[in-house]
Amino acid sequence: MELANLSVLLVWGAATALAVALVAFAVDLSRLSGAKVEARDAARGREKVAAAAGAPLVALVSPYGPDTGTGVTAPGPVNRRLAGVGMSVTWLAAAMLLVAIVLRGIAAGRTPWANMYEFALVGTFVAVAVFVGVNSRRDVRFLGAFVAGLGVLFLVLAQTRFFIEATGVQPALQKYWLVIHVGVAICATGIFTVAFVTSVLQLLRDGRDNGSAMLGSHRWGWLDHTPAPTALESLSFRLNSVGFVLWTFTVIGGAIWAEDAWGRYWGWDPKEVWSFIVWVVYAAYLHARTTRGWSGTRAAWFVVAGYACVLFNFTGVNLIFNGKHSYSGL
């Protein structure tokens, strides 16, 4: 079997593994929600019995255990085996995707991120790697269903819409800047992806805490097991700060490469313009949060807007506009 075909099979395998992880994480969240509802109902029942008997009310221990002080109730007897399964399968997906990327590069005889298909593969790998890396330092398994879901979406789109055969690249791309400039851009995109998921969860948790009619139902009870909105915002801010530094280098490195390849640092090419727009949005977000006191939902919506620009820069600019950066291969 050719290396390129084996790479494709491994990508499908990684997508399948992420789909399994998505289901495992989702069922785990559902069980947490159900356990909390059962514990609340049982507590109310015991309180009614105690009140009818004239006995003093005592503090009841949640099946989640004591409050951790971070907005998350520590899991007690609730079985988190499925969350462990989800993490294990996510690690497997990351390993399969990494091997697929390496085989793609060997088959093409170059760095494997020169078109939309390869960018999607590597960007998904970085997002998954960031998730499992952060989880090794703190429990962020509540992000698992969403990171895995986006990973499945990106990989399926890559295979069905962006796929091209493994070939060489045009002369303008045969530079070491392909490794540096595009590689750093992909890392920034992967980090922005996880930060986006965190901010979306922040918006959902904040809506539930503030009595949203839709989010207040028991179906959204799993949100009670996620960190408080302030903790989610802090995590998103840290991730976006790292992503912004990498994106800054992406813009600067791109300008240096453009001068070397085309004799000018800036030419208002659509990709250059939208890369700068992404930089401005995230710079405004960081500035507003650190110096203007913007926080809460306003900051979260800023992150959502920034990630929307990132997605358009990856898809819309490559597919709609014609320019010097039209390397989609489609």
Q: Are 166 and 107 in contact (CB under 8 A)?
A: yes
Q: What is the mean pLDDT of the chain?
A: 85
pLDDT at res. 205? 94
In this predicted structure, the answer to whether residue 255 has a pLDDT above a threshold of 60 is yes
pLDDT at res. 48? 45
Distance, CA of 46 to CA of 228 (rounded, Å): 28
3-state secondary structure of 92: helix
pLDDT at res. 10? 97
Q: Dump pLDDT digits (tens) for 3-49.
A: 999 999 999 999 999 999 999 999 999 888 765 544 444 444 444 44
> How many CA atoms, within 13 angstroms, populate the side-chain half-sphere of residue 51?
6
What pTM was computed for the model? 0.85
pLDDT at res. 32? 81
In this predicted structure, the answer to whether residue 303 has a pLDDT above a threshold of 80 is yes
> How many CA atoms, within 13 angstroms, populate the side-chain half-sphere of residue 229?
16
